[in-house]
Amino acid sequence: MPKTSKVKKKVKKVKSKSVSKQKPKVVSKPKDINKGPIKISKTYIPKDTEKYMCEKHKVFFRMKLQDWKKELVKANNEALYNGSMDDNSISADIVDQASSYTDKNVEMKAINRQIKLISEIDKALMRIKDDTYGYCLDTAEPIGLKRLMARPVAKYTIAAQEKHEKDEKVHADD
């Protein structure tokens, strides 16, 4: 046993001597890990010449989706607030009451569509985190930058989307 304690002491001494004489080493980490946030300009537009769904693309679409979501939430809040202020249902005229009811019905349908869209935006943001954003959920093929620019919540390639719509129509006819 005494031998191992001497060995440990020697090792400690050697380590302390070697560390003090050497310059500190800079350890380089892999590029993907701890790279830091990627910054893009506000005028940046993804290009086909860049690698598909590179970090710049992901940051661009994340920002685009988050901004869109903020706009929708703000519009919904304003519509709900303004809708509660305009209450003509207590009017004595039955035509005014019917008109008010129709207007509120249209507003509520629009708000419901926007709520569904906010849900789709949240799902798209999750796909960005999962690194599946920009790829078709059916075929796993790239959806394409042009399609994503037009519809950032797109889940399918155009061909797969057409197939889904055709299938929905067939089921609706049944």
DSSP string, 50-94: SPTT-HHHHHHHHHHHHHHHHHHHHHHHHHHHHHHH---TT-S-H
Label residue 104 by pLDDT band (50, 70, 90): confident
Stronger pLDDT, 31 or 96, i.e. the higher one: 96
Contacts of 120 (CB under 8 A, 6+ apart): 153
- Range in 81-90, 98-107, 130-139 with the lowest mean pLDDT: 81-90
Query: In the chain, where are the structural domains located?
Result: 47-173
* H or E stretch at 41: none
Mean pLDDT computed over every residue of the chain = 80
Rounded CA-CA distance 41/19 in Å is: 44
- Range in 20-24, 36-40, 79-83, 120-124 with the lowest mean pLDDT: 20-24
Which amino acid belongs to residue 20?
S
Q: Give the pLDDT of residue 89.
A: 55
Label residue 85 by pLDDT band (50, 70, 90): low
CATH code given to domain 47-173? 1.20.120.910
Please tell me the pTM assigned to this model.
0.69
Rounded CA-CA distance 147/41 in Å is: 21
